[in-house]
Structure 1
């Protein structure tokens, strides 16, 4: 029944023609409210359908019917029209470009999905899930935030060893150059990653030191000894935030901790000014900067972060706090995208990435990295549902049996889970069929 309702909602979309622009755009402003109302009334707040449709079950009743994040369009022509169409500028528009960088598997795509309120980027426990830069657009009120989700940063040696695409080395750097703010994400549950910033991340920050940066400690829910986070912060900031000595302030009402800059260095009562080598300041001058760049390998952190946040992207803990802070950093400027655009990714790319996420999650070792995806069918059914047929080409015959699984259980499970994620991304009924074939070399 609910699929039929969703199809009817999509069928009632209004096509509006802009004579001056000569283009047609798809208006969906009322669609999401209808979907939320449908999920809330028919299945109640605790229903899995509500989660599937993007309804936040923790919102009070009066907030449940508020508009949710726009759906990604599964029709490329519709999306192209919106991308070409002039953005619907508010009276006083503000914009922020945010580059999210970090080591592989730090949780960058998970955080991006949480900020956007819709799953659009692939997430997996395996490294190198994100293969290239992807943009997500979050529009709230008069503010538009453009998220630049990037692959995990790797050096040339590792990229060559694993035959990684050039995007792994170029996209993070290019994203930072375009950004107004850089968000550095660190997996503090990893005993190695929490000891020092990734060398490539540190190099990128040094080369773009004029761009404000913030540090976000992710997966804090997996850290048993919370007090160890204080030492982690000290290492990754070299004891400085906003150019001041970092102090940890604990709320009396809860155990949550926040990092705030103390008085300017040298102004603390009874504390003499710190030397430059103690504060980790980068000396000015061309030759001095070159020497400092060579010495980066001996450093553990970056002393120029503007703020530090601790959260769990997977659980959504403190993500809203981070989002509100980021929105305050937006500056006056015209929007780049229409408010109904949530990502610049083509719909087929979203589909391929989500299916590949499941392959990475359920297949061992190198198998998922050697599978080629071919879209055989992509069309809208008579009832508004999206029909997708994709063939997975596998290089080895024994891998075909592994991917199919006993009685086709594994491939059916992958298709079912990927279909659910696609329903969340496109907000429509999805019929996904996967076939497996041996690819002869």
Structure 2
């Protein structure tokens, strides 16, 4: 027996992106490319729906293949930066990638291991191209076996580090179990590539009620050192456990000697950011040291046993990726770090993923969201129909194969409510991605 659910989505009204950078007077009024709309109301189940649609993703595989094979339209004096984003599962890596891109390109859910393989997103602004390497969360073989994960889930983050010019290490500060130390997998990854510049990004700071805890978190995760200089942390508020979200924080470093300019191109902006900044709208808080930083030393397995943090971060950023808070600050910093070099993609490319991969990711995101425990990790997706309709709409029929009859009942839901909701929400996201009418049908079957 089969159960069907269908969804029909209409194209959105195209609106120009709105910008939210006016809160920071030291920032330009625009950053680049596709922006993001102001954060939606807190009760919106998917705040990433606020991402602005600049240009559609191609929904025909042949067109996407030709675009990827197209020679890059090199500008004068091109610059490029490859950015690997690593961190523990569910730290918000794909959410941050989507915000930087200004488009929902990568799957996002509250469950771990939503991202199943390495994927690239491309930001092109003027003569600069940023290539974002979105990777699965760093995990170990035991956890990979428990969640029925492919071997690529273990190797992709390491492969991304090999190609990266800069690495963002994302930490979820709302998780009180893990926020004061980097995972052993992250430390191993950093220690294997010690000369790749790394930046610490503290995510979900809007959820952290006691902002003074960020002092402790920063000290632990950096081992008290940023850009080769010891951090001098000064609190501008009383150490009161009831401190509100608007309590200011200052993280300072020794003043540079006369005649010396801080190495970082953002030094002046960071100094302004540190003065009286409120952490509910967090900004760059660490960074420019005095003089040249010493190169990272080699760390062996014995050294990593006692390490909680990484003392070679060049910068620290604090943000809330889900609602876009301070993502523009990070994006501007990344654009400034780009080095002279040829572009790797045509300026029209947004991602290296095929249309079918984007579709699979979107549907899997909804399956992860609505099925309990380990059940969604056993669902296999098979696309039966993918074609363009007579009126230009995209017709998709996909089978969701589950190992047990009980899982089938869970996926269908009482009265077909669960599968219908998955089809409706996935269809809406597909429409937002491809900017065309989408007719999506899902059917649930037990694996034969």
Q: Same fold (TM over 0.5)?
A: yes
Aligned-residue offset at 1:36: 2.8
Aligned-residue offset at 1:259: 2.1
Residues 54-89 of structure 1, C-alpha deviation per residue, up to 9 Å, x if partnerless?
A: 885449xxxxxxx95432110111111111111111
* Stretch deviating more after TM superposition (222-231 or 244-253): 244-253
> SS of the counterpart of 2:286?
strand
Q: Does 1:296 align with 2:304?
A: yes
Residue in structure 1 matching 2:81, options 79, 96, 102:
96
Quote the Cα distance in structure 2 between the aligned partners of 1:324 and 1:413: 38
Match of 1:318 in 2: 326
Q: Does 1:355 align with 2:363?
A: yes
Quote the Cα distance in structure 2 between the aligned partners of 1:217 and 1:55: 21
Change (3 A) 1:311 1:404: same
Q: Does 1:35 align with 2:25?
A: no
Quote the Cα distance in structure 2 between the aligned partners of 1:325 and 1:170: 28
Match of 1:369 in 2: 377
Match of 2:338 in 1: 330
Quote the Cα distance in structure 2 between the aligned partners of 1:410 and 1:261: 48
Segments of 5+ residues of structure 1 without an aligned counterpart are 7-33, 41-53, 60-66, 266-278, 284-288
Quote the Cα distance in structure 2 between the aligned partners of 1:306 and 1:172: 20
Q: Does 1:252 align with 2:237?
A: no
Aligned residues: 372
Aligned-residue offset at 1:431: 1.0
| Correspondence list, 1:22-421, <5 A | 35-36=14-15, 56-58=36-38, 69-247=54-232, 248-249=251-252, 250-252=274-276, 254=278, 256=282, 258-261=284-287, 264=290, 283=297, 289=298, 292-421=300-429
Contact 2:179 2:217 in 1 (8 A): yes
Q: Per residue, is there more helix in 1 or in 2?
A: 1
Match of 1:30 in 2: none
Quote the Cα distance in structure 1 between the aligned partners of 2:97 and 2:10: 31
Quote the Cα distance in structure 2 between the aligned partners of 1:412 and 1:69: 29
Contact 1:99 1:175 in 2 (8 A): yes
Residues 78-112 of structure 1, C-alpha deviation per residue, up to 9 Å, x if partnerless?
A: 11111111111112211110000001110000100
Change (3 A) 1:404 1:318: same
Change (3 A) 1:281 1:139: closer
Quote the Cα distance in structure 2 between the aligned partners of 1:254 and 1:225: 12
> SS of the counterpart of 2:71?
coil
TM value normalised by structure 1:
0.79
TM value normalised by structure 2:
0.78
Aligned-residue offset at 1:260: 2.5
Kindly report the root-mean-square deviation, in angstroms, between the aligned alpha carbons of the 2 structures.
2.6
Q: Does 1:432 align with 2:440?
A: yes
* Stretch deviating more after TM superposition (93-102 or 396-405): 396-405
Aligned-residue offset at 1:158: 2.7
Segments of 5+ residues of structure 2 without an aligned counterpart are 1-8, 19-33, 40-51, 233-250, 253-273
Aligned-residue offset at 1:253: 6.3
Contact 1:93 1:142 in 2 (8 A): yes
Contact 1:251 1:257 in 2 (8 A): no
Aligned-residue offset at 1:282: 5.8
Q: Which structure has more RCO (C-alpha within 8 Å, separation ≥ 6)? A: 2
Contact 2:195 2:296 in 1 (8 A): no
Quote the Cα distance in structure 2 between the aligned partners of 1:105 and 1:182: 17
Q: Does 1:422 align with 2:424?
A: no
